[in-house]
Structure 1
Amino acid sequence: MLRNTKIDVEGTKAFYHAYHQITQGCDCIYCKNYVIATELLPNAVKVFYQSLGIDPTKEGEVSEYCKNEDGSHLYGGFYHVKGRIISGPDCWIKTSEKVSHLETNNLVEISGIKFGFTHGVSLLLDGFPNPAVQLEFEGNIPWVLEEKA
């Protein structure tokens, strides 16, 4: 279940509006594909991102994990949101003092993409408004580039 959060949608949206696309910080084929493929995300996922003020083509940390048999690719990563967590399970569980793992039972699926909030904020960009929380995501994204991975 997604955590109960208090989000400043307009503050988040203002940051993303002013920031550059992911591909301006990384020109790898996987990020290029991801940015273009965000146009094909299910409407429910687009609405979810919009409800938080997130532009999924910008700022986030995006990683491609593997190619699936159907040609899609498993991606994961995170975005930052201006706000704070009120209650609910964290999607990252500490297993020892220095080790954590993504707890998939604490993720919510929206049209095939899994999401969860965490207190742990990584790689927060200078100028991102505080307080900030992190939205993790994981899901299969279609391969849309003519160039093969």
Structure 2
Amino acid sequence: MDIQISNLLLSLGIDSAKPNHLSDLGEAKDGLRLYMGSYHFVGELLAGLSADTQEWNDANTTAIGNFTFTMNHKLSFVDEAMPKPILQLDFETKIPWVLTDKPE
């Protein structure tokens, strides 16, 4: 993750090492691994569009490096103790597999 993304997450009070959800979706056609995940943080969306996982498009996403982000209006995996209001920042990224052992 590049410094620009780390700084963005930090500005929102998000620890980039602790997504509330992370899925490895396997190898994409280009040979990179596809990952999707999300972070929760306290706040409100004052402007712009939100989306759910099926609605991603150029109007409601932003790309930074090899990551694409969107605000999701359908919350998932929320800790009940988390203060309200809650926003969900979803992401998708493709990154190379760097370990010697290949995934099964």
The answer to whether the 8 Å contact 1:85/1:119 transfers is no
Q: Give the partner amino acid of 2:93.
A: G
| Deviation of 1:50 (Å) | 1.1
| % same residue | 32
Q: Which residue of 2 aligns with 1:61?
A: 21
| Deviation of 1:125 (Å) | 1.0
Q: Which residue of 1 aligns with 2:101?
A: 147
Q: Which residue of 2 aligns with 1:29?
A: none
Q: Which residue of 2 aligns with 1:126?
A: 80
| Deviation of 1:119 (Å) | 2.1
3-state SS of 1:47 partner: helix
Q: Stretches of 4+ moved more than 2 A in 1?
A: 68-72, 141-147
Matches within 5 A, 1:55-94: 55-68=15-28, 71-92=31-52
Q: Give the partner amino acid of 2:45.
A: I
Query: Greater helix share, 1 or 2?
Result: 1
**TM-score, length of structure 2 as denominator length:** 0.83
Aligned pairs, number: 102
| Deviation of 1:69 (Å) | 5.8
| Deviation of 1:81 (Å) | 0.9
The answer to whether the 8 Å contact 2:20/2:37 transfers is yes
The answer to whether the 8 Å contact 1:75/1:139 transfers is yes
The answer to whether the 8 Å contact 2:42/2:87 transfers is yes
| Deviation of 1:139 (Å) | 0.9
| Deviation of 1:90 (Å) | 1.4
Query: Does residue 43 in structure 1 map to residue 21 in structure 2?
Result: no
Q: Which structure 2 residue ranges, 5 or more long, are not aligned?
A: none
Question: Max radius of gyration: which structure?
Answer: 1
